[in-house]
Structure 1
Amino acid sequence: MPSVDGVPAGIRFEHDIQIPLRDGASVRADVFRPDEPGRYPVLVAQGPYGKDPWIGAAYAAEWADFVQRRPEVVEDGSSGRLIAWEFVDPERWVPHGYVVVTVDVRGQGKSPGYYDPYSPRETNDYVDVIEWAGTQQWSSGRVGLIGVSYLAANQWQVAALRPPHLAAMIPWEGSCDLYRDTSHPGGILSNRYPAMWWINQIMVNQHGNGDTPYHDRFSDEPTTGPALSPAQLDLNRAPIASSALFRPLDGPYYWERTPDLGRIEVPLLSAANWGGAGLHLRGNIEGFVRAGSRHKWLFTHSGVHFHDFYLSYGVELQRRFFDHFLRGVDNGWDAEAPVQLLIRRPESSERRAEAAWPIPRTVWTAAALTADHRLDLESGSADAHPRRVSFDALTESLTFMTSPLGSDVEITGPVALVLWVSSTTSDADLFVALRAFDGDGTEVTFEGAHHMQVPIGLGWLRASHRKLDEERSLPYRPFHAHDEMQPLVPGEVYRLDIEIQPTSFVAPAGYRLALTVAGTDYRPPGADGPGPLDHDDPTDRPPSTYGGTTTLHLGGEYPSHLLLPVIPERS
């Protein structure tokens, strides 16, 4: 039977607990723990979106759609009433012998102070929270981290500091490189970072915001504490919009917010979304590959970015991992393959285990781009003599397409594109999409993290950011330095190595693979407007610079080509 607080029987609930921090400040937390006395492993997450608004109120449309499509989320042992955005569902964890601690980061929700996202101070706060959770009388001393997006990105950060009580982590769709994964993919400013996210999700949840529409699901009071004046609110938050907009190059601001992944030692399960290019994909792949952990797993899925996190199969996966590493349960997890991939097909998908990433049996296949708009997958040969094709950067695009495939072709892994480019202006933004079309010419798209229709793969590069970090670049995954602008001389030809974020797709016989190159964001069939992760900020992309004519040089001394990870069947 529900308790007075609306928390089910068997769960002891402590609201707005103060957790002390090393500098004398404190943050506020909610603690959900088993009613039976004992010491339990602790799951911790801290975030800026408020620990107290119910997901069904704060994100009403998204939650209603989720429940309608997947009613199991409120039927299989949970009412869903305890879920806050991107935090775990306590009803699915506490009855299984876990304590759940949800925390408002400093300056957000109930936690007073100055909000500076992803900053070293916020990360040090997280260390203090983990150590507090690991030393309470109800704690076994083993702390796990789990959460989605921001609540995953900050896991990479704090794990690199090696808090003594941290024992395992599940970063679910969370970036690990603030510049490349979040604010400036390919060096191009993402609209989400300075505008949509900051206004719609951060300021509305700032501590002291008396105008917040959100109410505590337990007390019905505002979720942001006592109201402060607009002037004080402005003083209490970092000017993040201008930080991103006026820091177009990677540098100290981003470096101190991007962890040294090699320092991470704890076991981890990294969950990436194939449909999350631009925010919820690359970081989880890179985090898995570069983390120093001896025990690490990569898990991929697709669809709306928070759905699989709460679905029964996702919770069961998470629980098996934590049962093994936090509770010492011999459940066979240590025998699981380190790479567990969702292999997508036009109308279905299947899960497959692999030994490593990229897949060791990958056949790296170069497909040449030709002047007659072919993507030559069969011979990989370019035109013998250099040719050129051009497009207006703001209104046009070019698409290169294979012949109908003679047999099924699986593309799973990182994708790289080499383009030889010139422009009529001093710079050019390249937006590239890896696509597939059926025998009737209809494009295959998938439901993505933020869009109802996404192509197989996406990539971005600002031509003036073409400089590579040679030490970290790989033939199939270029890594750009983003530490200086190298303007183009109009009319001169430059080589661009473009990272297309990892993907998985099996194209059936008779289908065609395609590559579209444009100077603006990909638009799915029938799209009626920009998406939340678009890149069209007029300050970052003035038409005088990015609205020229872009020319691709193909063949001869300019062998523009697409490098695809073709996966043969296991023998």
Structure 2
Amino acid sequence: MEIRARGARRPYRSYRTLIAAACAALLGVLLTPAGAQGAPRGPHGAVKVSQPVYSYADSVRESVWVDTGLDGDADGVSDRVVADIIRPAEPARQGRKIPVIMDASPYYSCCGRGNESQRKTYDADGTPLSFPLHYDNYFVPRGYAFVAVDLAGTSRSDGCADVGGPSDVRSAKAVVDWLNGRGRAYTTRTGTTRVQAGWTNGRTGMIGKSYDGTIANGVAATGVRGLETIVPISAISSWYDYYFQQGAPLQGSGPDWLANYVESPAARARCQVVQRRLVDEAPRTGDVTALWEARDYVKNAGRVTASVFAVHGTQDLNVRTKHLGQWWDALADAGVERKIWLSQTGHVDPFDFRRAEWVDALHRWFDHYLLGYDNGIERAPMADIERAPGQWSTDRVWPPRGTDTTTLRPAQGPVAGVGTLGRTAARPGTTATFTDDPRLDEEDWAETADLNTPDKSGFVTRPLSHDLRLSGSSTVTVTATPSTETAHLSAVLVDLGPDTIRDYNAPGEGITTLTERTCWGPSTPTDSSCYRETAPRTADVTHTVLSRGWADLGTYASASHGRPLTPGTRYTLTIDLAATDHVVPAGHRLALIVAGTDRGLIQPPSTTPTLTLDLARTSAHLPLVGGARAFTRATTGAAPTDPAAGRSRPDGVAEPRRTPPIPGESG
């Protein structure tokens, strides 16, 4: 989410105010999309692409109030949510109907959208003047409508915010239904004058980052007709997993705090019952309740009929990539058409880490799924993955073919206190002991990853002779004996070796915002299409944490409900780790760390436990490209003196490539 809950470790960027300067309109013809080789071509040899032929300045700007059929604030009147619309005027005059790009958000009034924290603005009559982000400026001239929906209880909408629950999802779904002729909308909040969406063909694509992308996931999981595609960016797939992981609390507050933050003052005053429910039905015990079940979209992935273009930062410590991994796997099981971008950033929009390529890819995606253009985007490589700051590779499918879950086992090495990680199980009776220290975090542990220290147990491979790639979601099974009735566990995978990475721990979470601007469509005096450029913010490191996961040991018998532990009793628990795609280079080592509280990322237990690991019954299950054979190859033979000598292509369809300069659509 855009707002980090209180007590979290890493602050968000301080948003900048948009300088409302009018920028020059785009000139010329859009360049042939990058990476479109082999795509079907038009009569002049160019890939078919929508062109900016409609007037942005003369576009229709209007607001409608859509009936949700719910009464979340219990005032006896069906809640209406606001849909602010901008659409080209010419198609309707020509008798042509157009598709819709929709961003449903709770942030348009309270907090703003994007790197420059833009809000919607209105004239004295309430007609929309400016829409956040570039979607309107870029796509409206190309024959799309853009619809910005205020979720229930936010900005000018009725109802109450319920943090991903039925009211949130229903308020966005109701707009999709109205666009497809199945719902009712009105010209005012309380009036009776109906308005129809006769200008659209109903084909809708939802997009959004964080909370917005989460709602796109939720609406897609209803199977609503007319929703053709979604583009969830850094999005939640199950709200329980935003606040807890396997019983371990990830945030210092519950959903009531977020609801209170995004609600309008009027909604905050009338929604006390809903606020109370968000407290009472989301206990800090970490148990899965009916409230969390109603906010789990993964279980309904089989209903999804929309295609999905998912984007996530592998170092997103707000919406962890566990959300992406479980959603992606469920969509794959359901046979959903999908595409993915994975960056090295934290919680950052692709418009701010790979702008030109992102606008191009999004343009082709919407042209295909909303306009029906046969431009080859669905046959292009499924995955784009950032290998180093600004350097990307692609994969035909993701995870790539040949990826296989491989079991690695920790053991004590020949030197006392030094742990090893390999294919051979430890001898029965081998143990490692540590005491939870809530003052430390994964970065502290990684500094001494190969040692068993008083606060953690660490296990490492030998230096690799060849690159080793992990692609997908891992698990770690731990057998531990606690000394107290409560205990939290962390499991962390670390790449030990020097590298230059995006500095996801710094403000900006991997990007630096520059002063120069580029423009992505025509502007008006009240709605600029020009945005500040960014550059990678990098750090030279001696190690890189590549995946992590957490759990309350009390969930050993049930992931849904914790129970008190009996000191001195041995328990076995499997911890889910966040999805990733990472190449551990030749010459580096792969490490597994098992510890207690990961400061700033989970909350400590009520006691300070000492835990004894049974190493013979502890193991890591990693998605290795090439499986066990790749691990054996990478851990036999001498590590190269020149690390590049052991490197190979990361099993994609293209070598890593550096992001080219911004092409000519800048102003």
TM-score normalised to the size of structure 1?
0.76
Where in structure 2 are the equivalents of 1:178-197 lying within 5 Å?
A: 178-180=239-241, 182-191=242-251, 194=254
Q: Secondary structure at the match of 2:216?
A: helix
CA distance in 2, matches of 1:268, 1:542: 38
The amino acid that maps onto 1:106 is A
Conserved 8 A contact 2:214-2:232? yes
What count of residue pairs does the alignment treat as equivalent? Answer: 485
Q: Is 2:210 the partner of 1:149?
A: yes
Q: What residue number does 2:81 align with?
A: 27
1:456 aligns with: 546
Secondary structure of residue in 2 paired with 1:125: helix
- Does residue 127 of structure 1 match 2:169? no
The residue that corresponds to 1:206 in the other structure is: 263
Worse overlay, 408-417 or 560-569? 560-569
CA contact (8 A) 2:308 2:336 kept: no
Q: Describe the superposition over 1:23-82 as per-residue Cα deviations: whole angstroms up to 9, x where unpaired.
A: 43211122121242332110112121225865479849xx9xxxxxxxxxxxxxxxxx95
1:410–1:422 CA distance, 2 compared to 1 (3 A): same
Q: Which residue does the alignment assign to 1:371?
A: 412
Relative distance call for 1:417 and 1:241 in structure 2 (3 A) is same
Q: Tell me the secondary structure at the aligned position of residue 350 of structure 2.
A: helix
Q: Which residue of 2 aligns with 1:296?
A: 338
Distance 2:225 2:612 in 1: 55
Paired position in structure 2 for 1:416: 475
1:503: which partner in 2? 580
* Cα distance in 2, alignment partners of residues 15 and 25 from structure 1: 19
Q: Percent identity?
A: 22
Residue 488 of structure 1 deviates from its aligned partner by 2.3
Greater C-alpha Rg? 2
Take 2:623 and 2:508, find their aligned partners in 1: how far apart are those partners? 25
Query: Aligned partners of 1:56, 1:564: CA distance in 2, in Å?
Result: 35
> Map of 1:215-234 to 2, 5 A cutoff?
232=270, 234=272
Corresponding residue to 2:372 among 328, 332, 351:
328
Describe the superposition over 1:522-547 as per-residue Cα deviations: whole angstroms up to 9, x where unpaired.
Answer: 6xxxxxxx4xxx222xxxx4433xx1
- Residue aligning to 1:485: 562
Q: Would you say 1:430 and 2:493 are equivalent positions? A: no
Over 3 Å counting, the alpha-carbon distance change for 1:137 and 1:416 in structure 2 is: same
Aligned with 2:357 (options 313, 333, 344): 313
Match of 2:602 in 1: 535
Deviations 1:490-516 (A, max 9, x none): 112222211111112222222122122
Counterpart Cα distance in 2 of 1:380 and 1:542: 33
**Counterpart for residue 441 of structure 2:** none
Instruction: State the one-letter code of the partner of 2:430.
Output: R
Counterpart AA for 2:84: D
The answer to whether residue 225 in structure 2 is matched with residue 164 in structure 1 is yes
Answering whether residue 317 of structure 2 is matched by residue 269 of structure 1, we say no
1:187-223 deviation line (CA, Å, top 9, x unaligned):
21221652xx754x6434322x2xxxxxxxxxxxxxx
Given the alignment, which residue of 347, 361, 370 partners 2:402?
361
1:518 aligns with 2:595: yes
Which residue matches 1:380?
423
After TM superposition, list the pairs within 5 Å mapping 1:43-122 onto structure 2.
43-50=101-108, 54-55=112-113, 59=117, 82=130, 84=132, 89-122=135-168
Over 3 Å counting, the alpha-carbon distance change for 1:500 and 1:418 in structure 2 is: same
User: What is the rounded CA distance, in whole Å, between the counterparts of 1:173 and 1:57 in structure 2?
Assistant: 14
Query: How far is 1:268 from its partner?
Result: 1.9
Q: Relative to 1, partners in 2 of residues 1:115 and 1:348: Cα closer, same or farther, differing over 3 Å? A: closer
Name the residue aligned to 2:31. Answer: none
Counterpart Cα distance in 2 of 1:235 and 1:148: 29
Q: Take 1:417 and 1:443, find their aligned partners in 2: how far apart are those partners?
A: 27
Check conservation: 2:247, 2:285, Cα contact below 8 A.
no
Separation (CA, whole Å) in 2 of partners of 1:48 and 1:134: 23
Change (3 A) 1:294 1:55: closer
Name the CA shift for 1:249/1:233 in 2 (closer, same or farther; >3 Å): closer
Q: Where does residue 561 of structure 1 map in the other structure? A: 619
Q: 1:90 to 1:274 in 2, by over 3 A?
A: same
Q: CA RMSD in A?
A: 3.2
AA aligned opposite 2:572:
R
The 8 Å contact of residues 203 and 226 in structure 2, kept in 1 or not, is answered as yes
How much has 1:548 moved relative to structure 2? 1.4
Structure-2 change in CA distance of 1:127 and 1:203 (3 Å):
same
- The aligned residue for residue 175 of structure 1 is 236
Write the letter of the residue equivalent to 1:254: W
| 1:447-467 deviation per Cα after TM superposition (whole angstroms, max 9, x unaligned) | 279856872111111111123
In the alignment, which of 57, 63, 70 is matched to residue 10 of structure 1? 57
3-state DSSP of counterpart to 2:368: helix
Q: Is the 8 A contact 2:213 2:231 kept in 1?
A: yes
Deviation at 1:265, TM superposition (A): 1.4
Give the Å deviation of 1:123: 2.1
Alpha-carbon shift at residue 2 of structure 1 (Å):
6.0
- Checking the alignment, whether the CA contact within 8 Å between 2:488 and 2:553 is kept in structure 1 is yes
- C-alpha distance 55-383 of structure 1, shift in aligned 2 (>3 A): closer
Q: Secondary structure of 2:597's partner? A: coil
Partner SS state of residue 550, structure 2: strand
Deviation at 1:160, TM superposition (A): 2.5
Give the letter for the 1:493 counterpart. R
What letter matches 1:455 in structure 2? V
- 3-state SS of the aligned residue for 1:154? helix
The 3 A distance-change label for structure 1 pair 432 and 40 is same
Q: Which amino acid aligns with 1:369?
A: P
For residue 244 of structure 1, report the CA deviation from its aligned partner. Answer: 2.8
Amino acid at match of 1:20: D
Residue 222 (structure 1) aligns with: none
Segments of structure 1 that go 5 or more residues without pairing to the other structure are 64-80, 210-226, 468-480, 523-529
Distance 1:341 1:416 in 2: 24
Q: Which runs of 5+ in 2 are unaligned?
A: 1-20, 24-54, 71-77, 120-128, 182-196, 439-454, 511-538, 627-648, 653-667
Tell which has more relative contact order, 1 or 2 (C-alpha 8 A, sep 6+): 2
| TM norm structure 2 | 0.66
**SS of the residue 1:324 aligns to:** helix
C-alpha spacing 1:404/1:91, structure 2 compared with 1 (3 Å): same
Structure 1 residue 353: Cα displacement: 1.3
Secondary structure of the structure 1 residue equivalent to 2:473: strand
Letter in 1 for 2:249: L
Whole-Å Cα distance in 1 between the matches of residues 143 and 279 of structure 2?
42
Mean Cα displacement is larger for which, 240-249 or 310-319? 240-249
CA contact (8 A) 2:486 2:605 kept: no
Question: Cα gap change, 1:119/1:294 in structure 2, threshold over 3 Å: closer, same or farther?
Answer: closer
Q: Is the 8 A contact 2:149 2:172 kept in 1?
A: no
